[in-house]
Chain A
């Protein structure tokens, strides 16, 4: 290894700085050079906050190492960490992604007192009766009547939707938002879909066709890979 070769290339873009980190050298060297580079870096004179994205290439870092890198960046003034990107993940993480990205089909009537919890999207062929509850980390699609509770995005994904052939739920929950049926007897509606309004904690219900326009990426695998 040649000592004076640059391990970290700094690139300025409109969004902020990109630090490209060589993926062939030892992690310790990277850490040292990062510390050195950022301490010398006096170029920034105004107080504007600058986002720094770290690109690790084909280097795998553990969660602790990732935090360590972030910490180093944060230490220098007016730098904030944006994304830490790596081309590599472990098999476990890959399996987890796959679980979260797949659609789990179920054929049954979810009755009062029953709770169904799946990872990824849920496709329920059957009804959810009052008192029954379905939960998914992704979207929920019910081919049948939804009369109980549906909770989509259990792990906090706010971009998910809850769709049902017949929608008359006691409660809809998306991530941490909850909406309940009105106190007076509400008639159910056919082919509707609930989603979270941008920048608002309210769950809206709209015709299925409208929601498809607002969430065109429902079915894409990449969406879940990068939100994952």
Chain B
């Protein structure tokens, strides 16, 4: 019996889809059977980020309306056998899916997969209610800016009313130099306002955008910090305790020596 995790944020554009794709890929790398569900009916993106757009034949709405079996609509990933995607419909409307139908589909998929990651649309309306309906756990993604934290707070309040475990937080797109100069909220501040457990911190990284555009999630290649961050998040989901990555920039030998002697670098 697997578990279903919804990835949500309230605000749009904070990186829900990217996070879903990368955590899913990282979990698959660790050998877990993973199913990704895109619930953003009408504005599907997850298939594009995963590079699976041209393989879609059936979608979530077909499954909801029982035109096909759930199994038939799943799109297998081109890299991992254990990773599958249930894509959203591009031509329908969010009202075509009901929370009850989502519960049924997720329960069915839980029999077969270890993890079901549900990519939630922005907002707190029908789409959100559908996405949350079948979930056991929730991950809230936020950016280090006030409006995003405000919406995350609202979403956490709504999630508390659902029958799921307390949500975990991912702070996405942090820019170390801006935090240091005091122009960006730092992680501690965000965690203290939202008062939920931190699951991970992902730095703002050009590679993420490049990877999304090429349909290859950044977590596939271990050579960037953001990739490591996503892999660490996946390991934390599995229950390992992995320390947070440090954001310190590479420093020259001299600064290290100076620091060692307690001098100002």
Please choose the segment from B32-40, B54-62, B77-85, B153-161 that sits at the chain A interface, where 4 or more of its residues have CB less than 8 A away. B153-161
| CA A48 to CA B18, docked complex, whole Å | 80
Residue with the greatest number of chain B CB neighbours at <10 A, chosen from A111, A114, A129: A111
| CA A130 to CA B157, docked complex, whole Å | 12
Q: Mark A120-153, 1 if CB is under 8 A from B, else 0.
A: 0000001101111000000000000001000000
| CA A126 to CA B196, docked complex, whole Å | 13
Q: A199 interface residue, CB < 8 Å from B?
A: no
Interface residues of B in 180-234 (CB under 8 A from A): 193-195
Task: Decide if the interface of chain B is mainly helix, strand, loop or mixed.
Answer: helix
B97 CB, min distance to chain A CBs, angstroms: 24
- Residue on B with the closest CB to A131? B150
| CA A126 to CA B156, docked complex, whole Å | 15
Q: B53 interface residue, CB < 8 Å from A?
A: no
Are B193 and A131 closer than 8 Å at their CB atoms? no
Categorize the interface residue count of chain B.
10 to 19
Q: B96 interface residue, CB < 8 Å from A?
A: no
**Contact count A vs B, C-beta below 8 Å:** 30
Task: Decide if the interface of chain A is mainly helix, strand, loop or mixed.
Answer: loop
Which chain A positions have C-beta within 8 A of B150?
112, 130-131
| CA A112 to CA B151, docked complex, whole Å | 7
| CA A127 to CA B195, docked complex, whole Å | 9
Which chain A positions have C-beta within 8 A of B158?
113
Are A113 and B157 closer than 8 Å at their CB atoms? yes
Are A112 and B157 closer than 8 Å at their CB atoms? yes
Please count how many residues in chain A sit with their CB below 8 Å of the partner chain's CB atoms: 12
Which chain A positions have C-beta within 8 A of B194?
129
- Residue on B with the closest CB to A126? B195
Which chain B positions have C-beta within 8 A of A126?
195
Which chain A positions have C-beta within 8 A of B153?
111-112, 129-132
Q: Mark A85-114, 1 if CB is under 8 A from B, else 0.
A: 000000000000000000000000101111
| CA A112 to CA B155, docked complex, whole Å | 8
| CA A127 to CA B196, docked complex, whole Å | 12
Which chain B positions have C-beta within 8 A of A113?
154, 157-158
Are A114 and B193 closer than 8 Å at their CB atoms? no
B137 CB, min distance to chain A CBs, angstroms: 19
| CA A131 to CA B153, docked complex, whole Å | 9
Are A109 and B154 closer than 8 Å at their CB atoms? no
Which chain A positions have C-beta within 8 A of B195?
109, 126-127
B183 CB, min distance to chain A CBs, angstroms: 12
Residue with the greatest number of chain B CB neighbours at <10 A, chosen from A113, A131, A132: A113
- Residue on A with the closest CB to B157? A111
Q: Mark B139-180, 1 if CB is under 8 A from A, else 0.
A: 000000000001101101110100000000000000000000
| CA A126 to CA B157, docked complex, whole Å | 14
Q: Mark A190-218, 1 if CB is under 8 A from B, else 0.
A: 00000000000000000000000000000
Which chain B positions have C-beta within 8 A of A111?
153-154, 156-157, 160
- Residue on B with the closest CB to A130? B150
Which chain A positions have C-beta within 8 A of B160?
111
Which chain B positions have C-beta within 8 A of A112?
150-151, 153-154, 157
A74 CB, min distance to chain B CBs, angstroms: 51
- Residue on B with the closest CB to A114? B157
Q: Mark A147-173, 1 if CB is under 8 A from B, else 0.
A: 100000000000000000000000000
- Residue on B with the closest CB to A110? B157
Residue with the greatest number of chain A CB neighbours at <10 A, chosen from B151, B154, B157, B158: B157
Which chain B positions have C-beta within 8 A of A131?
150, 153-154
B190 CB, min distance to chain A CBs, angstroms: 11
- Residue on B with the closest CB to A148? B153
Top 9 closest A-B pairs, CB basis? A111-B157, A112-B154, A112-B153, A113-B154, A111-B153, A129-B153, A114-B157, A109-B195, A112-B150
Question: Can you list 17 A-B contacts (CB < 8 A)?
Answer: A109-B195, A111-B154, A111-B157, A111-B160, A112-B151, A112-B153, A112-B154, A113-B154, A113-B158, A114-B157, A126-B195, A129-B193, A130-B150, A130-B153, A132-B153, A132-B157, A147-B193
- In the complex, besides A111-B156, A111-B160, 5 extra interface pairs with C-beta distance below 8 angstroms are A111-B157, A112-B157, A114-B157, A129-B193, A129-B194
